[in-house]
Amino acid sequence: MHSPELKQFIRDHSALFWYTPENKKEEISPEFLVETILNYGDIQGVKQLIALLGMKKVADIFFYSINLSDRRKGNYHDLTLNYFTLFFHRYAP
Question: What would the pLDDT profile of 23-35 be if each residue is shown by its tens digit?
Answer: 998 889 999 999 9
- The parent domain of residue 64 ranges over 4-91
Q: How far is CA 90 from CA 8, 36, 79, 83, in A?
A: 29, 22, 17, 11
Give the tens place of pLDDT for each residue, 39-59.
999 999 999 999 999 999 999
Domain count, the chain: 1
3-class state of residue 51 by DSSP: helix
Buried-exposed string 4-31: b where 16+ CB fall within 10 A, e elsewhere: eebeebbeebeebbeebeeeebbebebe
Say yes or no to pLDDT of 62 above 90: yes
